[in-house]
Amino acid sequence: MLNIVLFGPPGAGKGTHSVKLVADYEFVHFSTGDILRAEIAAKTELGLLAKSVMDKGELVSDDIVIGMMRNKIRQNKDAKGLVFDGFPRTTAQAEALDKLLEENGIAVSAMLMLDVEKQELIKRLQKRAEVSGRADDANIDIINNRIEVYNDQTLPIVDYYKNQNKFKPIDGLGTIEEIYDRIQAVIKTL
């Protein structure tokens, strides 16, 4: 079983490439952002709680997102593989993910980090705002805050995976096909 953490800043292309991996490898895709937005759309208690945090570009609490992932992992431990998109976003989440996988007799195979510079991220997110309808894409201050939150709270995870020899950086600039080829080249080595 291949379990991939697809990592990178907002706008790096995690969602785009997750969809391609699901189509080509029959992996199961977990996007915490998508799960949270579905909770918001369904107006659940969790959704209401998450919305104000997400609209500001801050992180939803570790307890909430870890709790969300617990059942999903248990239900899919016999899949061909799992793709984690937008999770983990803190070192506490990375530690929790290892524990949750271990409880099910599986483990992270690699963390693939899509590397994209800030100006390009801003360009992509502003373009996405035209179609996504996401409040957090529509405002430059919130976009900047998301990138700052990523740099402060999420980037430290790189060391966590480096220490486990699971860190695989990937150049995230170029066409979608070029980037996807690089992702597949790394997956072939796993």
Binding site for ligand ADP (CB under 6 A): 10-11, 32-33, 36, 53-54, 57-60, 65, 86-87, 89, 93, 136, 146
CB of 146 vs ligand ADP, minimal distance in Å: 5
Of residues 124, 146, 168, 182, which has the active-site annotation?
Answer: 146
14 in catalytic set: yes
CB of 65 vs ligand ADP, minimal distance in Å: 4
Q: How far apart are the first and last CA of the chain?
A: 10
- Rounded CA-CA distance 81/25 in Å is 8
89 in catalytic set: yes
134 in catalytic set: yes
Of residues 20, 51, 118, 134, which has the active-site annotation?
Answer: 134
| DSSP single-letter state for residue 110 | E
146 in catalytic set: yes
DSSP 8-27: -STTSSHHHHHHHHHHHH-P
Residues 6+ apart with CB under 8 A from 106: 1, 3, 77, 82
Catalytic residues: 14, 89, 128, 134, 146
